[in-house]
Amino acid sequence: MGASILAIDYHLPAAVVDNTELASAFPEWSAEQLEAKTGIVTRHIAAEKECASDLAFEAASTLLARVPFDRRKVDFLLLCTQSPDYFLPTTACLLQDRLGLPVTCGALDFNLGCSGFVYGLSLAKGLIESHQASAVLLLTAETYSKFMHPLDKSVQPIFGDGAAATLIVETPETGIGELVLGTDGRGWSNLIVPTGGTRNPTVVDAAAEADSQGSCRTVNNLYMNGPEIFAFTLQAVPSVVERLLAKARLTANQIDVFVFHQANKYMLEHLRKKLGIAPEKFVISMSHCGNTVSSTIPIALRDAEANGLLKSGSKVMVVGFGVGYSWGAGLLTWR
């Protein structure tokens, strides 16, 4: 008995920001340069009143309408988000009700960024293999746009809003294989929204300041130290890939498809070359939506399936990494 991904769907909000629009806000970059560096052409941005739960609801509704699976059998709802609707209650409770899931369903939020999908797989596998659940709906949903300053060129080209729904069910053979996780909280301040929690309340009328690179933000906005995140990733990702292969007693050649967190093309290409992975085995699928944080891996998996890259029996490695710092890698056998 094991746990396997039965289906994935995703939802992107309607409004789109393209590279031409960004290039007019940041004239030092052209639309072509932005695409070449980031691998992103458009990002979708949530409307003013559109929250993570709205995006997650749409993703889950698409999945439950497409897949012949009775929603009354979902017995655990996991929501990964760092932009919850409220401090409390947990947004997963709102979604249990809105999606019409049974009251016998467990539900919780967990706060992780780009490693969130891999952690979600780990939690779902644990719940299923310990007989606490038989069908887990894993939702990932983020609206980082609400945290970003419009004139912060370090984050505006990279992040987009979006949500994904992944249905994980009990199966005779396991589709979610070995997993390894990691944390280094020394990097906590390199990707952060500094205010709005209990440590530093939101500052009313906070003034925007320009940094040495010419990016503007207030203390209430998302801050990303891109070069530090880049350095952390180049160090952490190869070692987590090695740890996972050693644990599973596999070599990289035995993996059919690698789906890494879609941070940006510049960084992904550095990682791919450092690890010696062939481009045809390495998914880059973010041109239409940008870095959607915890949803990038399920979005890329869904796209790879739709494009025929993922086939039944494909051995897939997923790797998530970022804010925290937090990271994780897992092996999947595609159904």
Ligand X SMILES: CC(C)(COP(=O)(O)OP(=O)(O)OC[C@H]1O[C@@H](n2cnc3c(N)ncnc32)[C@H](O)[C@@H]1OP(=O)(O)O)[C@@H](O)C(=O)NCCC(=O)NCCS
Beta carbon nearer to ligand X, 213 or 251? 213
In whole angstroms, the minimum distance from the beta carbon of 291 to ligand X comes to: 5
Residue 1: closest CA among 173, 163, 122, 117 = 173
Omega before residue 172 within 30° of 0, cis: no
Beta carbon nearer to ligand X, 15 or 192? 192
> Active-site residue 291, yes or no?
yes
Say which of 19, 220, 264, 291 is annotated catalytic: 291
Neighbouring-strand partners of residue 191: 224
Beta carbon nearer to ligand X, 160 or 175? 160
How many Å apart are CA 76 and CA 85, to the nearest integer? 20
Beta carbon nearer to ligand X, 114 or 139? 114
Q: Which residues bind ligand X (CB under 6 A)?
A: 34, 37-38, 114, 153-154, 157-158, 224, 226-227, 229-230, 263-264, 266-267, 291, 322
Say which of 19, 80, 261, 289 is annotated catalytic: 261
The answer to whether 276 and 29 are in contact (CB under 8 A) is: no
How many Å apart are CA 305 and CA 314, to the nearest integer? 10
For residue 111, the tally of other CB atoms under 10 A from its CB is 13
Beta carbon nearer to ligand X, 104 or 213? 213
Tokens 């069908």: give the residue: 135
Omega before residue 325 within 30° of 0, cis: yes
Burial of 102 (0-12, 13-18, 19+ CB in 10 A): exposed
Tokens 């299923």: give the residue: 128
In whole angstroms, the minimum distance from the beta carbon of 36 to ligand X comes to: 8
In whole angstroms, the minimum distance from the beta carbon of 130 to ligand X comes to: 31
In whole angstroms, the minimum distance from the beta carbon of 144 to ligand X comes to: 10
Residue 201's φ and ψ, nearest 5 degrees, are -60, 155
In whole angstroms, the minimum distance from the beta carbon of 66 to ligand X comes to: 30
Residue 258 DSSP SS3: strand
Q: Catalytic amino acids? A: 114, 261, 291
